[in-house]
């Protein structure tokens, strides 16, 4: 098992606050260091799946981030997420332009005391450009 790929931290910020975003190459971007990312307390590890497929002759890249948290997830529209791997790399989900990631919050109240009472958050993002690492 490769533990370097585990997602150990998740941050978020409003898409409008992502300044200085530009691609260095296909799989990497440079983002301003002055961005005030808000850390989300997540149960480690979070799950991130990145896939690509060709649909109607166009290659689409999809990222699906799923994590559990004890924080209230309010104001989730037009958010950009930054995921930190165990090896210290960062993956950017979203950008300052459309399409924005879609965040779904599931706050369940289990009927069994041993079931998780954490809030499950799912972030879906589809883009015609590769999901980048931050450099």
Alpha-carbon distance values, 50 to 63, 91, 118, 126 (Å): 4, 10, 24, 10
User: With b meaning 16 or more CB within 10 Å and e meaning fewer, what string describes 47-83?
Assistant: ebeeeeeeeeeeeebebbbbbbbeeebeeeebbbbbb
User: What is the DSSP code (8-state) at residue 128?
Assistant: S
pLDDT in tens, the chain (135 residues): 566 899 999 999 999 998 767 888 888 999 888 889 999 999 999 999 999 999 999 999 999 999 999 999 888 899 999 999 999 999 999 998 899 999 999 998 888 888 788 999 999 999 999 999 998
Strand order in the sheet with 119-127: 47-55, 58-69, 119-127, 102-106
Residue found by looking up tokens 């009472």 in the block: 117
How many angstroms separate the Cα of 67 from the Cα of each of 80, 106, 108? 15, 11, 14
Tell me whether the omega of the peptide bond preceding residue 19 falls within 30 degrees of 0, making it cis: no
Task: Please say whether the beta carbons of 26 and 130 come within 8 A.
Answer: yes
Tokens matching residue 79 = 């958010």
Distance CA 33, CA 11 (A): 14
- Phi and psi angles of residue 55, each rounded to the nearest 5 degrees, phi first: -130, 120
Query: pLDDT (tens digit, 9 = 90+) per residue, 67-87?
Result: 999 999 888 899 999 999 999
Residue 84: Cβ within 10 Å count: 18
């Amino acid at each position: 098992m490769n533990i370097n790929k585990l997602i150990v931290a998740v941050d978020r910020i409003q898409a409008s606050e992502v300044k200085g975003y530009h691609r260095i190459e296909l799989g990497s971007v440079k983002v301003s260091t002055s961005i005030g990312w808000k850390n989300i307390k997540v149960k480690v590890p979070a799950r991130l799946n990145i896939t690509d497929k060709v649909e109607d002759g166009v290659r689409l890249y999809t990222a699906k981030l799923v994590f559990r948290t004890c924080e209230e997830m309010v104001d989730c529209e037009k958010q950009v997420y930054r995921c930190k791997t165990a090896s210290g790399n960062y993956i950017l989900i979203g950008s300052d332009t459309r399409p924005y990631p879609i965040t779904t919050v599931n706050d369940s109240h289990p009927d069994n005391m041993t079931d998780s009472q954490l809030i499950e958050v799912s972030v879906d993002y589809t883009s015609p450009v590769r999901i980048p690492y931050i450099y």
